[in-house]
Amino acid sequence: MTTQQTAPPKAGAAATAPAGRVNRRVRRLTGLDLVVVSLMVAIPTLAVLVLVWFPAVASVLLSFTNWDGVGSIGDIDWIGGTNYVNVATNYPPFWPALQHNIIWFAVLFLFATPVGMFFAVLLDKEIRFTRFYQTAIYLPVVLSLALTGFVWQLLYSRDQGLINGLLGTQIDWYGDPNYNLWAAIVATCWKHIGYIMLLYLAGLKAVDASLREAASIDGANERQTFFRIVFPVMRPINVIVLVITVIESLRAFDLVWVINKGRNGLELIAALVTANVVGEASRIGFGSAMATIMLAISSVFVAIYVTIVTREERQS
């Protein structure tokens, strides 16, 4: 009986790896890689600390002082909450400024936001010349508020403005305290509508098409489909729009400062902060107290937004 012998494997032949096992080679970071990664983390972190956190914390701390910017840090006199008491009781422009900020927010939220949403719904239907309309509506967003004020000056000018020319009036829309606040808000809405339109248009593009198809099968018309299905689905966008509108109404500064430095009927909190911090009075502690009030109001809405987003991420 003969025995069949198996030939030995050839030298240099690669061994076959077991099925399902993948050989992976882990590449270790070199010294240069560590340096690059460290810089990519350190530089943005340092920028955030220097440009965001340090000024915010410094403003809060300075709000408890009466420092006028003269002298060293050791010369700062800590006075506790006196600045906040003076802001609320001994500074007449504050409450009108707060009222104007509330009016600013109300008009942006109740007028500019629905108009921006309406434009987004129309553009989402892919009507003819959609790209042109989208660009035209969004174009004011890229302009600064100061430049927006100059553009609207062509309409608001008392002698050569388009509005007075059409109405046959001689109203100084930027100078008259009975009209300048509303004139500035209208100019801001022109800019704000494009931003809201873009946000809602992005949200509409992300809505599952099957939801609309199911609503159509159930007999719902376009209005019912939007308000009962599409709009609730865009809840994160709605919260973002609310937070952005609050922040925009609080930090409204450029336009009113260009018009009349936030005086004569255009008092806003941001303008008062600037007038006290960098104005002739140079009351840095007093101005920082109003800035801290703005920060506290904004933080409430930011916290609401973060809470809602975190809760939805956990549920998903």
* Tens-digit pLDDT profile for residues 198-218: 999 988 888 888 888 888 888
Domain count, the chain: 1
Query: Residue 218 maps to which CATH number?
Result: 1.10.3720.10
Look up the domain containing 290 and give its range: 96-315
Residue 191 maps to a domain: yes
Half-sphere exposure of 130 (CA within 13 A, CB side): 12
pLDDT in tens, the chain (316 residues): 444 455 555 544 444 545 555 556 666 777 787 888 889 999 999 999 999 899 889 889 999 988 877 666 667 888 889 999 999 999 999 999 999 999 999 999 999 999 999 999 999 887 888 888 888 999 888 888 778 888 888 888 888 888 888 888 888 888 888 888 999 999 999 999 999 999 999 888 888 888 888 888 888 888 888 888 888 888 888 888 988 898 888 888 888 888 888 788 888 998 898 888 887 667 888 999 999 998 898 888 888 888 877 887 777 6
Q: Phi and psi for 178 in degrees, rounded to 5? A: -80, -15
pLDDT single digits (tens) 126-169: 788 888 888 899 988 888 877 888 888 888 888 888 888 888 88
Closest listed residue to residue 253, CA positions, set 302, 287, 284, 296: 287
> Does 19 map to a domain?
no
Q: Is residue 308 part of a domain?
A: yes
The answer to the question of residue 153 being in a domain is yes
Asked whether residue 279 is domain-assigned, the answer is: yes
User: Which residue type occupies 90?
Assistant: N
